[in-house]
Structure 1
Amino acid sequence: MSSSATLDIIVVGGGIAGLTTAIGLRRAGHHVRLFERAATATAFGAGVVIGYNASKVLTAWGLDYDSYNINVAETFKMMKGDTFEEMARFEPGLYEELAGGSRQYYAHRIDLQQALLNLATRQDAPGRPIEVCYSADVVSYDPKAGSITLQDGSIHRADLVVAADGVHSLAPHSLLGADYSNYDISHTGTTIIRFMLPSSAILSDPQTAHLISSPGQFTWFVHPDRNRWLLQYPVRDNTEINYGMYSRVTTSEQINEQVSRFKGNRDSLRRELEGFHPDIGQLADKTSEILPVWKLAERPPLPTWYKYRLVVVGDAAHPMLPNQGQGAGMCMEDAGALGVLFSNIPDKSATSITRRLELFFKLRHPRASATQLISHCPYFEDAVGIMWPELVKVMKPKELPRKNDRNHIREWLFAYDVNAEAEAVLKAEQDRTPQEKDAC
């Protein structure tokens, strides 16, 4: 049996992408240091969807959903927001067999982050516990040296650096150089007002109680103008309800604004809810006065995710709108793939590391880029048809979901098993003859 090397790996970013990546690489037997710019473990936002495809990764790692009050998803309904007329429905168990028995979950982002941090640092998990360095703001990357420079001037080196530090990461600049301007982040004109309410506050009001028809239900209320929609789903064992009020705008002020997160108020939510049924409008009276508002950004698919000893994952690689609920899912798929593909690496050489990064990119780029493009459109639109000219640039037409078939998009997303796909890629790599390896 051939021996395998233990790599010294730096992961930048302590969010979902960074923590899952660190866990995957820890489990592959490597020494992982995680650098996070915040002073403590924090999580912005509220609810997060863990799709059937993503939970395959977390379940394989032994994540204890119950201990962190993470909800199992049960049903999905899409309704007209002014009349409550049903537009679509998915019953319990619809995708479970297709997804190999995995489930979909809804989590409060803080709960999920704590669950992942526990998996990353606990002593009794496979591999060496991850070292977490807080107040570590990265100001530059050096792909060839495999190093990061922090704001305090200190330089830290590793065999591999993984940038998982979000949509505003500096790592893509280091990968693309002057070409980065063609792939810069742009604000989409879509905003989201996030808020959470206790389930009891909704159920105790006769005007709003019917909005929660069953536990574990995701409800999508579509405004008559089809430029606004309200998402509703439970977290924390159905004790809280997560809301996202989305709005597509076209004013240049919104698009050019570079602040991605700012504060709104209850009156702004009331204005966004105008035109919905009055029962939905009643929700605004139950919120706090100050509400977080996010302006959502995206970029075209990057032409590469790696260079020398640097690779980008998660939102640093493929930021996407949440219209398919796959932002966190693609982070988890990236992490699962890296964990498998960096198992049993023969040595620490740049050649071996670059080869594994090449395998990672070839496996992940088509699927993540296609998901990124499909996510540009709201769920109720023909996303594949609208984005088809761009989709065929990143994936073969026969491998894409069908046009004008929302359910097939879900099947395409949920049936995928990144662990199995990565294991097949790694086996093919290990089965190559010496002559084949020399030819690369």
Structure 2
Amino acid sequence: MAIDAATNTFRIIVVGGGIAGLATAIAMRGPQREIIVLEKSRMNKEVGALLSLQPNAQKIVEQWKLKDIIQKAKPTAERQFRILDTKGNIHMNIDMDGKKYGADRMVYHRQDLHSALREAALSTELPGHPVSIVTAAKVVSCDCEAGVVTLEDNTTYQGDLIIGADGIHSVIREAVLEAGNHELVHPTPTGVSAYRLLVETANLSSKNVDPETFDPKRQATTLMMGHDRRVIMGPARNGDLLGLVGMVPDEHMHETSNANSWTTPGSLSKLLETYNDFPQWIKDIFAQAPDIALWQLRDIDALPAWVAGRCIIIGDAAHAMLPTQGQGASQSIEDAEALAAFFSSTTAKPTLPEVSLALQKVFEARYQRASLIQAYSRQQAKPATRKGSVKVTLNPAEFLDYNCKYEGAVQWLEQQKSREVQGQ
């Protein structure tokens, strides 16, 4: 049913009920606010995979006072970032100092985090009114100026603010770009495909590997690189699970990946063939995975706009990035924090100029930072993945500081303006 727009309530429509959409709905809760999340799926089961919240995002979530709910997601703190070669030699070992960054890097099973965020959104204990979540609600169009979204069945929802958290194939992104007379931007192949696996660590006790080289329960992200291929590994659910992502240039693939689904089954024999030059213990771990998912990695170039009228796009809709920095979910959390910060004084139904001003501040606070992290994630996947890609000169340790020392959108924007005044 359509929303009655006659009250003085600040009505917020969030398109997309994934991590970005639910986090934003939680952040935006407050007095005299009605928040509705429109999710095209039935939310029966979130995709099984691991994701991380880096310190920059984890400390934001902790500020939302969700500790008891988030603990149900069994987060695993990671204390190190390690880089190995295919002989097991350690080339880099960076300690992840939670005190230095204000929070630990936490790894979650995606299902667990999604369930926790959904519980928080629906909670009657948190500030503001519980969020309404409408499933099987596929948005097909959006009028950015009027703040109206239309579903596949022609149902319309009107809000004072429309937040597009609908992923890399975003409908709201198209509406925002069309409203600004910009060319549409579509996800583009990066030339890299990825295998995703989850293994129970209890099944790995007999694997022949020196624990100094690799321990599946070590609280660390381990990156093994060689032969234009890489494997990223880390534990979750208090060490009960080991997640692995194998990234392979498409020219070295022995099977065809799928650009439209990250749950397309992959072949164990083809995976082992692709990683033939890697240590036997890695291949033994691969063989223990009950399922192998394979997909072609795609991202989008930095967009000319995120905002039009009453609409803004966030998360993968605005700045989809490759998993090499583990910052995809974290940047969505930063987007949510920025929206909450710049709408913090909006306690009743805002005018269009008020919405536009706040959204412009969000864009100014988020665009440069998210675009740089997006570029570095691409560069790390494969140098110069595409011609014209932004070059980033910071080394991994420097970029870790850049990522994790972030203290919120308002402070970041103030720092940027200060640098501009100083001519930096």
The two structures share one fold, judged by TM-score above 0.5 = yes
Report deviation, 1:304.
0.8
Task: Tell me whether 1:13 sits opposite 2:3 in the alignment.
Answer: no
Whether the 8 Å CA contact 2:12–2:33 is kept in 1: the answer is yes
Aligned to 1:435: none
1:298–1:149 distance in 2 versus 1, CA, 3 Å? same
Report deviation, 1:175.
1.5
Aligned to 2:399: 409
Aligned to 1:418: 408
Select 2:278's aligned residue among 276, 279, 282.
276
1:391–1:17 distance in 2 versus 1, CA, 3 Å? same
Task: Tell me whether 1:364 sits opposite 2:354 in the alignment.
Answer: no
Aligned to 1:344: 345
Aligned to 1:80: 85
Aligned to 2:239: 238
Aligned to 1:319: 320
- Structure 2 stretches lacking a partner, 5+ long: 1-7, 419-424
- Of 255-264 and 310-319, more deviation after overlay is shown by 255-264
- Of 314-323 and 182-191, more deviation after overlay is shown by 182-191
Q: Secondary structure at the match of 2:260?
A: coil
Distance 1:189 1:20 in 2: 31
Report deviation, 1:211.
2.8
Report deviation, 1:52.
0.7
Distance 1:325 1:405 in 2: 16
Whether the 8 Å CA contact 2:216–2:234 is kept in 1: the answer is no
Aligned to 1:169: 170
Select 1:89's aligned residue among 86, 90, 93.
93
Aligned to 2:309: 308
Distance 1:92 1:183 in 2: 36
Report deviation, 1:235.
0.5
1:27–1:98 distance in 2 versus 1, CA, 3 Å? farther
Task: Tell me whether 1:149 sits opposite 2:150 in the alignment.
Answer: yes
Distance 1:29 1:52 in 2: 31
Aligned to 1:355: 357
Task: Tell me whether 1:60 sits opposite 2:63 in the alignment.
Answer: yes
Whether the 8 Å CA contact 1:189–1:255 is kept in 2: the answer is no
Aligned to 1:205: 207
Distance 1:213 1:240 in 2: 8
Distance 1:66 1:203 in 2: 27
TM-score w.r.t. length of structure 1: 0.85
After superposition, the C-alpha distances for 1:328-359 in whole angstroms (9 at most, x for unaligned) are 01000000110111111275210100010011
Report deviation, 1:418.
1.4
Distance 1:260 1:250 in 2: 20
Alignment of 1:379-390 (within 5 A): none
Distance 1:220 1:189 in 2: 20
Alignment of 1:217-232 (within 5 A): 217-223=220-226, 225=227, 227-232=228-233
Whether the 8 Å CA contact 1:382–1:405 is kept in 2: the answer is no
Whether the 8 Å CA contact 1:342–1:356 is kept in 2: the answer is yes
Aligned to 1:70: 75
Select 1:36's aligned residue among 27, 36, 39.
39
- Of 195-204 and 40-49, more deviation after overlay is shown by 40-49
Whether the 8 Å CA contact 1:98–1:411 is kept in 2: the answer is no
Q: Secondary structure at the match of 1:183?
A: coil
Q: Which residue identity is paired with 2:135?
A: Y
TM-score w.r.t. length of structure 2: 0.88
Q: Which residue identity is paired with 1:335?
A: A
Whether the 8 Å CA contact 1:187–1:255 is kept in 2: the answer is no
Whether the 8 Å CA contact 1:146–1:310 is kept in 2: the answer is yes
Q: Which residue identity is paired with 2:405?
A: A
Q: Which residue identity is paired with 1:319?
A: A
- Structure 1 stretches lacking a partner, 5+ long: 393-400, 429-440
Aligned to 2:3: none
- Of 200-209 and 252-261, more deviation after overlay is shown by 252-261
Q: Which residue identity is paired with 2:118?
A: L
Whether the 8 Å CA contact 1:341–1:423 is kept in 2: the answer is no
1:71–1:256 distance in 2 versus 1, CA, 3 Å? closer
Whether the 8 Å CA contact 2:173–2:317 is kept in 1: the answer is yes
Aligned to 2:198: 196
Distance 1:264 1:192 in 2: 10
Report deviation, 1:76.
1.7
Whether the 8 Å CA contact 2:195–2:245 is kept in 1: the answer is yes
Q: Which residue identity is paired with 1:71?
A: T
- Give aligned-pair identity as a percent: 26
Whether the 8 Å CA contact 2:15–2:164 is kept in 1: the answer is yes
Q: Which residue identity is paired with 1:265?
A: S
After superposition, the C-alpha distances for 1:98-140 in whole angstroms (9 at most, x for unaligned) are 32x2111011001111111111111001111000000101111
Number of residue equivalences: 403
Whether the 8 Å CA contact 1:341–1:422 is kept in 2: the answer is no
Report deviation, 1:421.
2.2
Q: Which residue identity is paired with 1:418?
A: G
- Of 323-332 and 344-353, more deviation after overlay is shown by 344-353
1:282–1:254 distance in 2 versus 1, CA, 3 Å? closer
Aligned to 2:51: 48
Aligned to 2:248: 247
After superposition, the C-alpha distances for 1:209-251 in whole angstroms (9 at most, x for unaligned) are 663165312111112x1x2111110000111101111112249
Q: Which residue identity is paired with 1:120?
A: A
RMSD value over aligned CA atoms? 2.8
Distance 1:315 1:239 in 2: 29
After superposition, the C-alpha distances for 1:62-107 in whole angstroms (9 at most, x for unaligned) are 23243321101112211002x10111101252xx3432x2111011
Whether the 8 Å CA contact 2:254–2:270 is kept in 1: the answer is no
1:15–1:208 distance in 2 versus 1, CA, 3 Å? farther
Task: Tell me whether 1:22 sits opposite 2:12 in the alignment.
Answer: no
